[in-house]
Amino acid sequence: MLSTAMQPPRSRTGRRRAASHRRGARPAPTPAQMSVNMPAPPPRRRPPGGVEGISDALEREFEGARRTRMRGLVLGTASLALVIAVGIGCALALRSATGSGSGSGSSSSRKGQGGDRGRTGSGPGLGAPESPYIPAKGTGKFLRPASTGRVYGHGKPMRYMVEVEGGLRQDPAAFASSVDKILADPRGWTAAGKWSFRRVASGPYDFVVRLASPGTVDRLCGGYGLETEGKVNCSGGKQVVVNLRRWLLLTAYYRGRPDEYHALTINHEVGHRLGFGHMTCPGRGRPAPVMQQQIFGMKGCAINGWPYDRRRRFLGGPSVP
């Protein structure tokens, strides 16, 4: 056919390009070939002090800050605990100092020391030492509280009075109550059923218990030929004379045990009024007889302020002049 058989002639330029292509000219590389054949660029070096250097430095700073904070917390906690402890100690000391007794308190609540000075503080190491009020002489006049009329025990009735010298700052009713309690105790002189006791405020009486100043004790006891030297108690005639110094300061053997020493004082002197003489220790470790002069030594016995034990057995010992 004419349309397909006839083609336009090629130009000379086109023939040259084809010839050159046929002669072996290399084709241009493709992008894939270029990426494979190109050498890899050298690795980039991070300059010192770059991002990684900054991170390490910050981490060290944060770690130091954390350690400093922990040390601060520990020291702060310890300081707070110390301040709280000091505050509590000061509060306890102030409370003890303001709550300690004065020289006019009840005799049954005192806890004295042996010798001529005592303490009325509320505990060891708390409160300042305070000497109880012990005048050398009182007024010489005695105050007698009213009687309750109660009878303690069964047996021969013993009527007694209780008196307190004026000027001692002692409550006569409180002292009388202490004497009543001692004489009514089942370990006291009522245990054998031989005597009963009734306190009276007037009328006839068998003995009188008197709390007196050291000077008055010397005067009253000296009337019976007894030397007390302002330090001890005595019993003479119908009088049981209790020295205020001993009542408050006790003795070295009864230090811190006022109730037991008060029982010894009353039971010993009333025992003389009932006809008992002095006794001594019956054996090492055994209870000392209440009629033993325990102020001069225990002789190996244990302290004891009662004539009988709880089974109503008499706690005696060998008699001494």
Identify the band that residue 53 occupies on the pLDDT scale cut at 50, 70 and 90: very low
Least confident range of 88-102, 115-129, 284-298? 115-129
Overall CATH class of domain 142-275: alpha beta
> With pLDDT > 90 as the criterion, what percentage of the chain qualifies?
58
Which pLDDT score is estimated for 107? Answer: 32
- What mean pLDDT comes out for the span 297-314? 97
pTM above 0.75, yes or no: no
Which pLDDT score is estimated for 9? Answer: 47
219 Cβ contact partners less than 8 Å away, ≥ 6 residues apart: none
Which pLDDT score is estimated for 228? Answer: 96
pLDDT tens-digit readout, 93-111: 555 443 333 322 323 333 3
Query: Does 303 have pLDDT greater than 70?
Result: yes
Query: Does 117 have pLDDT greater than 70?
Result: no
Q: Is 198 helix (H, G, I), strand (E, B) or coil?
A: strand
Q: What is the mean pLDDT of the chain?
A: 77
Which pLDDT score is estimated for 148? Answer: 83
Which pLDDT score is estimated for 103? Answer: 29
Exposure of 170 in the CB half-sphere (CA atoms within 13 A): 36
Query: Does 54 have pLDDT greater than 50?
Result: no
Q: Is 173 helix (H, G, I), strand (E, B) or coil?
A: helix
User: Does 69 or 31 have the greater pLDDT score?
Assistant: 69
Domain boundaries along the sequence of the chain: 142-275
The answer to whether the CB of 249 falls within 8 A of the CB of 214 is no
Which pLDDT score is estimated for 321? Answer: 83
Identify the band that residue 76 occupies on the pLDDT scale cut at 50, 70 and 90: low
Least confident range of 51-60, 121-130, 298-307? 121-130
Long-range CB contacts for residues 298-302, cutoff 8 Å, separation at least 24: 298/253
Query: Percent helix, strand and coil across the chain, each rounded to 5?
Result: 40, 15, 50
pLDDT tens-digit readout, 3-48: 444 444 454 444 444 444 444 445 555 544 444 445 555 555 544 4
Evaluated on CA atoms 297, 301, 303, 305, the torsion sign reads negative
C-alpha to C-alpha distance for 150 and 136, rounded to whole angstroms: 34
The answer to whether the CB of 153 falls within 8 A of the CB of 274 is no
Q: Tokens representing 110? A: 């005192």
User: Does 41 or 181 have the greater pLDDT score?
Assistant: 181
pLDDT tens-digit readout, 141-178: 999 999 988 999 999 999 999 999 999 999 999 999 99
Which pLDDT score is estimated for 149? Answer: 86
Q: Nearest CA to 142 among 241, 227, 225, 238? A: 241
Q: What sections of 168-213 are H helices per DSSP?
A: 172-184
Q: Tokens representing 196? A: 């009963």
- What mean pLDDT comes out for the span 258-275? 97
Which pLDDT score is estimated for 63? Answer: 61
C-alpha to C-alpha distance for 76 and 93, rounded to whole angstroms: 26
